[in-house]
Structure 1
Amino acid sequence: MSLMCLEASARLRSFTAAAQELRLTQGAVSRQVQTLEERLRVKLFTRRREALALTDAGRYYLGEVAPLLQRLERATANVMALKGRGGELSLSVGASIGSYWLIPRLPAFTREHGEITLNLGTRVGPVDFSATPVDASLEFGDGQRTGLHSEFVLPLILSPYAAPAWIAAHGAAVDANTPRSALIHHQTLPGAWDEWFAREGIAAEAGREGPRYDIMSMALNAAVAGMGVALLPPYMSDDMMASGRLRRLSRRKWRYAKGYYLVYPEESAQMQSLQVFREWLLAQAGDI
């Protein structure tokens, strides 16, 4: 209760307003905050006549506990509404694998598990679960996440692709004559082209580097637009191949050292919604 009083008082900047929201007396809210301050041995608020203001310690502490309060509120609402059957699952997912691999498969999950509401957000890089109110993450990495569960889901398989118009102008191969300026990069795999040429035993031409994009889907769209050659996985390129917008420039497939993992903290491990989603997700990956 003291944490709820802290959060409401900070958000509303008033013990009186917090008391009205929490259906307590103003004195009860004030005492809860005072007890918390005594336990922590720091002042959380500067008490002014016009409004409350968080101290530096108060801002730091609230920033740490706010995600936990949000998860607690969501879990309570789920149990009350669904009696523990299903509920919500908040998942962070990489933009490219989320848009091109996961979301096209989600209608099947919804049909099978209509009792679960799956909320998706996206970010670049690994999730900081202490600062982000999500239950799990489908993320790209090496699976080494200290203190977290990390289960392998999918490999990243790469091949070079380009638009038919680009191929007509520059040729249907990626070799020593391919200018560096034609190689499209994305920050997910910053050294991928150098590794590709090394694996193929090709002495790549020196010169100006090609464009760089933050995420793989941007590299895909740049390749489709005829801006050069991109290393892409089948889950992004297959539809573009089928529609004739991209062509593969090599029969070789390269399995990148990193892959996609389902990552979650210990406190999420017993969530029924996560257990159901995990089983479904691994089955989907196993069918590929």
Structure 2
Amino acid sequence: MSRAPSTTSLLCLEASARLGSFTAAADELHMSQGAVSRQIQTLEQRLDVPLFTRRRESLVLTDAGRYYLDEVTPLLQRLARATANVMAFKWRGGDLSLSLGASVGAYWLIPRLPAFTQAHGEITLSLSTRVGPADFKAAIDASLEFGDGRRSDVHSDFVLALDLAPYAAPGWIAVHGKRVTNDTPRASLLHHHTLVDGWDHWFRFDGLAGNPGRDGPRFEIMSMALNAAVAGLGVALLPDYMVADHVAAGRLKRLSRRQFRYPQKGYYLVYPSASAGRPALQTFRHWLLQMAAVAQQAVEPGN
């Protein structure tokens, strides 16, 4: 196995590409222009491919250089953060970067986070949202995401099931009735991409013989379907934790005493092997699974 390039050469690559100049990179890195140029030359010789096109007044990455920089930048970011964390917190805490599904993050996790931050002030959380599986090349330590827990390249810890019931605004109910039936207008069934077949499952669960179809409005995330239901656009399948405030304020009503558990999928804490050993992640993981266990005990699907 060939020896990996030095961190210095990678830092020179990143700074030169970002600033477009060996001279500017040298100033930023407190090196001489010649030293930066030699680091890049050594790196190009090791890779046996040019990384820059040298022009009179600037540097431009080649296609190979652009690809290589995209791959090593997250590693440099992790290195910088790990160094800062160890220096500042002596490995007791530091920064933890989490990617969250937008709805479960905003409505389930964030309201519970004050308890975590009060108990673990040594850990600083950085939160971002996205739709779909996280890309761990983007310097993310872990992701709370909806899926089947079968991603082969990462660790997946089951956190929370998704239990759903139909909700609608009082105005919609006054026109269309207190239950979803075979006569409910299909254009009033709100869909979201998290559960493209959610209404199919509900019709089977509730013993409805008709086909729900896909005629109703479609939204990318559950929180958009929630807001559409509040606005009276139709009826949406939603978890209790998202609708509690709206129900208490009279903006939404539940159209069934029953709820069903979405099959074969749920929310998982997903993280790569590179993050698995971090004490900050293990502390958060332990806390998260405890919170989820308490929350799940309060849910009785099918009742």
> Contact (CA 8 Å) 1:87, 1:117: kept in 2 or not?
yes
1:83 deviates by 1.6
Deviations 1:198-255 (CA, angstroms, capped at 9, x unpaired): 2222122677711011000000011111111000011102222222111111112111
Rounded to whole Å, the distance in 2 between the matches of 1:200 and 1:5 is: 62
> Contact (CA 8 Å) 1:178, 1:205: kept in 2 or not?
no
Rounded to whole Å, the distance in 2 between the matches of 1:198 and 1:47 is: 65
Question: What percent identity do the matched residue pairs reach?
Answer: 69
SS of structure 2 residue aligned to 1:287: helix
Match of 1:271 among 271, 278, 285: 278
Rounded to whole Å, the distance in 1 between the matches of 2:283 and 2:245 is: 29
Rounded to whole Å, the distance in 2 between the matches of 1:140 and 1:206 is: 23
Q: Which ranges of structure 1 fall in alignment gaps of 5 or more residues?
A: none
Runs of 4+ off more than 4 Å: 205-208
In structure 1, give the amino acid aligned to 2:75.
L
Aligned CA distance change for structure 1 residues 227 and 17 (closer, same or farther; 3 Å): same
Match of 1:198 among 197, 204, 213: 204
Question: Could you tell me which residue of structure 2 aligns to residue 121 of structure 1?
Answer: 128
SS of structure 1 residue aligned to 2:286: helix
In structure 1, give the amino acid aligned to 2:117.
T
* Range with greater deviation from structure 2 (91-100 or 231-240): 231-240
Question: Could you tell me which residue of structure 2 aligns to residue 230 of structure 1?
Answer: 236
> Contact (CA 8 Å) 1:179, 1:207: kept in 2 or not?
no
Q: Which ranges of structure 2 fall in alignment gaps of 5 or more residues?
A: 1-7, 296-303
Rounded to whole Å, the distance in 2 between the matches of 1:218 and 1:269 is: 33
In structure 2, give the amino acid aligned to 1:239.
D
1:1-288 equivalences under 5 Å are: 1-130=8-137, 132-204=138-210, 209-257=215-263, 258-288=265-295
1:77 deviates by 1.2
> Contact (CA 8 Å) 1:91, 1:118: kept in 2 or not?
yes
Rounded to whole Å, the distance in 1 between the matches of 2:156 and 2:166 is: 29
Please give the TM-score of this superposition, normalised by the length of structure 1. 0.97
Aligned CA distance change for structure 1 residues 206 and 128 (closer, same or farther; 3 Å): closer
Please give the TM-score of this superposition, normalised by the length of structure 2. 0.92
Pairs aligned (count): 287
Deviations 1:86-144 (CA, angstroms, capped at 9, x unpaired): 100000000001110111111111110111100000000001212x2211100000001
SS of structure 2 residue aligned to 1:67: helix
Rounded to whole Å, the distance in 1 between the matches of 2:212 and 2:193 is: 20
Rounded to whole Å, the distance in 2 between the matches of 1:41 and 1:265 is: 30
> Contact (CA 8 Å) 1:162, 1:226: kept in 2 or not?
yes
Rounded to whole Å, the distance in 2 between the matches of 1:87 and 1:199 is: 46
